[in-house]
Chain A
Amino acid sequence: MSNKKNTTISRRSFLQLSAMAGVGLAAAACAPATAPSTTTTAGTTPAAAGAPTAGGILKYAETGEFNHFGPWQMGNVNTAMYNQVFGRLIWKDGEGTEHGDMAESWEMAEDGLSFTVKMYENIQWHDGQPCTAADFVTMYGYTKDEALSGESSVQKTANLMKPVIDVVAVDDYTIQFVFEKPVPYITEILDYFWAIRIDDKADPAFMTTLPVGTGPFKITEWVPNQYTKYVRNETYHHEGLPLIDEWVFNRLEKSETLLPNLEAEGVDGIFGPPLSDIARIQQDDRFWLEINSSAGSIFNIIVNTKLPPLDKKEVRQALSYSLNREAMVQSAFFGIAAPITTPFWNPTSLAYREDLVMAHPFDLDKAASLLAEAGVTDLVLDINVTSRWPQMKLFTLIWQADLAKIGVTLNVQEVENARFYEIGGAGDLLGISLHPWLNGRTSRDPAIFLGTQTNYRGDPTLNIYGWENAELEEIVAAGAVELDLETRRALYQRANEILVDELPMIQVATDPRVWVWAKKVQGPYIDLVGNLTLDQASITS
């Protein structure tokens, strides 16, 4: 009589699903650089076939309030609007294939010390001003600008652009990125380099004046707590796009209300419904789902390596073996996630190694013996969770019950969001043994991942949790400038090995992004950054 979910997804089939989704979307996405209305309908939708019709208003909803309209922020809430309002020179689709948005062509120099991009010549900002190479020089200038040194979005981009020592406008429409040492992953960096204009340095978050961009839509209105509105950019440099007239991005308070609103046809698409609702939606013929892991967000656990006995890697490995990830994926994540022991779980990553994806299958006996080997008895650990991520609450309780079976006490406490972040931001976790966390960009080039996710680094000046590993640091340094693909691959696979063996962070599961669309909506796709793109979205009547 139990209410069993009947959509159990094994890890392998899940990864296959994501890959298939990526392929399908890539097929749909491969055209945008030049082709107008003959673009294919999105291949993955089980929706009605037929050419997409132009026009219409697409209504969409997420939870969370806008607190930053700049795409460089890469924040949690606003990402859905980035690709709609802003353009990039080059971007990558879910499969990792490069496309030009604002760039017509691009080329890496022979010596690898510069990268030249030729822009389209008919691009305009939403306020009518022409967009030229000079604008990119200005943007690069923001990362060096004193006035913007306190602005987090600019600092994030500055960090990403570190290997670039100069940006030069060779002519009006040719940009050259100059390096000191080769930067083989420059296109991945450019994937984040949306074209923006910070006209008012006092408002880099564009909260008082809405931003201008070069994307397919213009942002026209923001009613706080309610919605933002976007209309078609009539001067968009890709002819025939976008297909819809207007996009309304609604903001709802509670994630439980997303699906009811969709079912009541108040909106046509939503993002981030509660995982527990997914099973019943998958049965519903009126909607189709997009379960996408391109953004590469994962759930993991920060280990306080400064706190004995967690400084012993055997103890950390024991903890990894004691996590029943398969069971957690089924119950805490309602089948929507993949269990992982490495951050490099995505087959497209250079660091990928199949045997490391699930290197520590659930084995309480092994965990117990590792603990005994390390001479640890009566271990008491604590961990905090917060309501922002109910999955954490659930999986820590499952872990608690399992650990109790081998004599380890795990105390779970729920804290408010602000306190949760405070603990995570403290190098010593404020004396707490473990802290659930999330990291992103795991699908990206490992140079980017290791460059931005400093809690995976072995350099105590970068890794606030103080873990040290000289070999990893050498790999990071070498891999960032190595032009030969296979050499890079070998280097990063070794990094993968180290991280899975030493476990400064214990991986739990992936954190896929879930969209649900009404059948009549076709054509939305997700890029490698994990963001929604609507230039080819259409509404069939």
Chain B
Amino acid sequence: MQTYVIRRLLELIPALFAASILIFLMITLAPGDPVAMRLGTEATPAQIAAERTRLGLDQSLPVRYGIWLADVVRLDLGQSLYTNRPVTTLIAEAFPKTVQLALISLALSLLIGLPMGMLAALRQDRPTDTVITGLNALGLAIPNFWLGILMILFFSVQLRWLPPSGAGNADQGMVANLRYLVMPVLSIAVSNLSVFARFTRSALIDVLADDFIRTARAKGLAERVVINRHALKNALIPVVTIVGIQFGRLLGGAVVTESVFAFPGIGRLTVTAILNRDYPVVQAILLLVVLIFLVANVVVDLLYGYLDPRVRLGRAE
């Protein structure tokens, strides 16, 4: 088992390497001049050229890639072209906010989505199911930026309960700052819970149709026992995998939601950096996000292997 884990983790390295090349090409090939933008409309070409040289942007692509890679290995992520601040600091500021957003949204969507999905599966094809499936369809179809706009319209413009964007000031205290989280969390939770509900529903339906459930019923076990002890446990296994994958995705930053609400998390940082062609920031964050994504996949795989007794027992041989 241990060697298996180590092997999986080692396999990440070539994947990361390939991803790093793609990331580097993607952002450096994009037209646009971050230096001209930072120096403003009055900058002369000489000033811009001097700044480019100072930042090392006038060297060839392979050289720049090599330098970047060498720096990354030493954990030196460079400085933002736009604000001159170390990239690690920028990430250290934005990441906890995204984690906060991801955890709270995930908890909320699990709390609502799982029971919804189970209920729909147990009452399959009856009115409850149709309603829940309909709500899921709605939740999946709503563009999350529109949902965000609707929330702002309702909570900020109409009711004036909540601030339309940002994350509050540190000196306002934790509770006051929670107000800034409400709408982003709700936006993310709505689409996530639809994913969980739908997935749980079909997982549970599949399990309930399985032979061993028929056997349990034939044995005369009470329906409640059948469901609780046998069906749910097995249905939850694939659900765990989707939760893991969604969490990994959310850690990559709920890009659109953060943009709508100008929430200072990783997603917003990345989008702004891409639009500003802030090469060091984009490269560092995308690499980090890909790493998280890949690791999440590995963890989920391992978890699945551990939880599903068929796989676990099978492997022990």
Check A150–B275 contact: CB distance below 8 A.
Answer: no
Is B58 part of the contact surface with A, judged by Cβ < 8 Å?
Answer: no
Is B123 part of the contact surface with A, judged by Cβ < 8 Å?
Answer: no
Is A264 part of the contact surface with B, judged by Cβ < 8 Å?
Answer: yes
Q: Which of A291-310 contact B (CB under 8 A)?
A: none
Check A67–B170 contact: CB distance below 8 A.
Answer: no
CA distance A74 to B276 in the complex (A): 20
CA distance A256 to B41 in the complex (A): 24
Is B50 part of the contact surface with A, judged by Cβ < 8 Å?
Answer: yes
* Smallest Cβ-Cβ distance to B172: which chain A residue: A266
Check B37–A418 contact: CB distance below 8 A.
Answer: yes
B35 to chain A, nearest CB (A): 9
Check A156–B93 contact: CB distance below 8 A.
Answer: no
CA distance A67 to B278 in the complex (A): 13
CA distance A256 to B32 in the complex (A): 26
Seen from chain B, the residues whose Cβ lies within 8 Å of a Cβ on chain A are 31-34, 36-45, 47-48, 50-51, 54, 82-85, 89, 93, 156, 160, 163-166, 169-170, 262, 264, 268, 275-277
Check A76–B163 contact: CB distance below 8 A.
Answer: no
Given A254-B165, A417-B37, A421-B37, A67 and B43 touching (CB < 8 A)?
Answer: no
Check A419–B32 contact: CB distance below 8 A.
Answer: yes
CA distance A349 to B45 in the complex (A): 28
Check B164–A425 contact: CB distance below 8 A.
Answer: no
Check B33–A422 contact: CB distance below 8 A.
Answer: yes
Which of B34, B160, B165, B169 is A257 in contact with, Cβ under 8 Å? B165
Check A417–B275 contact: CB distance below 8 A.
Answer: yes
Check B275–A155 contact: CB distance below 8 A.
Answer: no
Which of A207, A261, A439, A440 is B83 in contact with, Cβ under 8 Å? A207
Check B84–A205 contact: CB distance below 8 A.
Answer: yes
Check B264–A253 contact: CB distance below 8 A.
Answer: yes
CA distance A422 to B38 in the complex (A): 11
Which of B31, B42, B54, B89 is A440 in contact with, Cβ under 8 Å? B42
Check A425–B43 contact: CB distance below 8 A.
Answer: yes
CA distance A302 to B166 in the complex (A): 36
Check B165–A453 contact: CB distance below 8 A.
Answer: no
Check A155–B47 contact: CB distance below 8 A.
Answer: yes
The interface centre, meaning the residue of A260, A264, A424 with most chain B CB atoms within 10 A of its CB, is A260
Given A67-B83, A264-B163, A417 and B276 touching (CB < 8 A)?
Answer: yes
The interface centre, meaning the residue of A207, A223, A254, A425 with most chain B CB atoms within 10 A of its CB, is A425
Check A424–B41 contact: CB distance below 8 A.
Answer: yes
Check B166–A257 contact: CB distance below 8 A.
Answer: yes
* Smallest Cβ-Cβ distance to A223: which chain B residue: B170
Contacts of A416 in B (CB 8 A): 32, 275-277
Is A227 part of the contact surface with B, judged by Cβ < 8 Å?
Answer: yes
Contacts of B82 in A (CB 8 A): 65, 67
Contacts of A155 in B (CB 8 A): 47
B119 to chain A, nearest CB (A): 39
Check B93–A225 contact: CB distance below 8 A.
Answer: yes
Check B31–A67 contact: CB distance below 8 A.
Answer: no
Q: Which of A459-479 contact B (CB under 8 A)?
A: 464
Is A141 part of the contact surface with B, judged by Cβ < 8 Å?
Answer: no
Given A207-B83, A223-B170, A419-B32, A253 and B165 touching (CB < 8 A)?
Answer: yes
Given A67-B84, A150-B50, A150-B51, A419 and B31 touching (CB < 8 A)?
Answer: yes
Q: List 26 A-B contacts (CB under 8 A).
A: A66-B83, A75-B40, A76-B40, A150-B54, A152-B47, A205-B84, A207-B84, A207-B85, A224-B93, A226-B169, A253-B262, A254-B166, A254-B262, A257-B164, A264-B163, A416-B275, A417-B276, A419-B31, A421-B32, A421-B37, A422-B36, A422-B37, A424-B36, A438-B41, A440-B41, A464-B45
CA distance A146 to B85 in the complex (A): 24
Which of A156, A252, A264, A418 is B166 in contact with, Cβ under 8 Å? A252
Check A250–B169 contact: CB distance below 8 A.
Answer: yes
Is A454 part of the contact surface with B, judged by Cβ < 8 Å?
Answer: yes
Interface string of A65-84 (1 = CB under 8 A from B): 11100000011100000000
Check A437–B41 contact: CB distance below 8 A.
Answer: yes
Check A425–B170 contact: CB distance below 8 A.
Answer: no
Q: Which 9 A-B pairs have the closest CB atoms?
A: A418-B32, A253-B262, A422-B33, A418-B277, A419-B32, A421-B37, A425-B36, A421-B36, A67-B83
Given A152-B39, A152-B43, A418 and B83 touching (CB < 8 A)?
Answer: no
Check B51–A152 contact: CB distance below 8 A.
Answer: yes
Check B83–A65 contact: CB distance below 8 A.
Answer: yes
B253 to chain A, nearest CB (A): 15
Check A67–B38 contact: CB distance below 8 A.
Answer: yes
Contacts of B32 in A (CB 8 A): 415-419, 421-422
Check A257–B44 contact: CB distance below 8 A.
Answer: no
Check A252–B275 contact: CB distance below 8 A.
Answer: no
Check B277–A257 contact: CB distance below 8 A.
Answer: no
Which of B31, B42, B45, B89 is A452 in contact with, Cβ under 8 Å? B42
Check A227–B169 contact: CB distance below 8 A.
Answer: yes
A214 to chain B, nearest CB (A): 25
Given A257-B165, A427-B45, A264 and B160 touching (CB < 8 A)?
Answer: yes
CA distance A452 to B40 in the complex (A): 13
CA distance A437 to B32 in the complex (A): 16
CA distance A261 to B179 in the complex (A): 13
Check A260–B164 contact: CB distance below 8 A.
Answer: yes
Contacts of A266 in B (CB 8 A): 163
Check A253–B166 contact: CB distance below 8 A.
Answer: yes
Q: Which of A393-434 contact B (CB under 8 A)?
A: 415-422, 424-425, 427
CA distance A153 to B226 in the complex (A): 74
CA distance A367 to B121 in the complex (A): 70
Check A425–B169 contact: CB distance below 8 A.
Answer: no
The interface centre, meaning the residue of A66, A67, A149, A205 with most chain B CB atoms within 10 A of its CB, is A67
A428 to chain B, nearest CB (A): 12
Interface string of A446-459 (1 = CB under 8 A from B): 00000011100000
B107 to chain A, nearest CB (A): 26
Which of B33, B163, B264 is A261 in contact with, Cβ under 8 Å? B163
Contacts of B165 in A (CB 8 A): 252-254, 256-257
Given A152-B51, A225-B264, A418 and B163 touching (CB < 8 A)?
Answer: no
Contacts of A224 in B (CB 8 A): 83, 85, 89, 93
Contacts of B38 in A (CB 8 A): 67
Which of B45, B83, B262 is A425 in contact with, Cβ under 8 Å? B45
Contacts of B170 in A (CB 8 A): 223, 226
* Smallest Cβ-Cβ distance to B80: which chain A residue: A67
* Smallest Cβ-Cβ distance to A453: which chain B residue: B42
A510 to chain B, nearest CB (A): 16
B20 to chain A, nearest CB (A): 22
Contacts of A66 in B (CB 8 A): 83
Contacts of B89 in A (CB 8 A): 224
A71 to chain B, nearest CB (A): 14
Given contacts A253-B262, A418-B37, 19 further A-B contacts (CB under 8 A): A67-B82, A152-B43, A226-B169, A226-B170, A227-B169, A252-B165, A254-B164, A254-B165, A260-B156, A264-B160, A416-B276, A418-B32, A418-B36, A419-B33, A421-B36, A425-B33, A425-B48, A439-B41, A440-B41
Contacts of A252 in B (CB 8 A): 165-166, 262
* Smallest Cβ-Cβ distance to B94: which chain A residue: A225
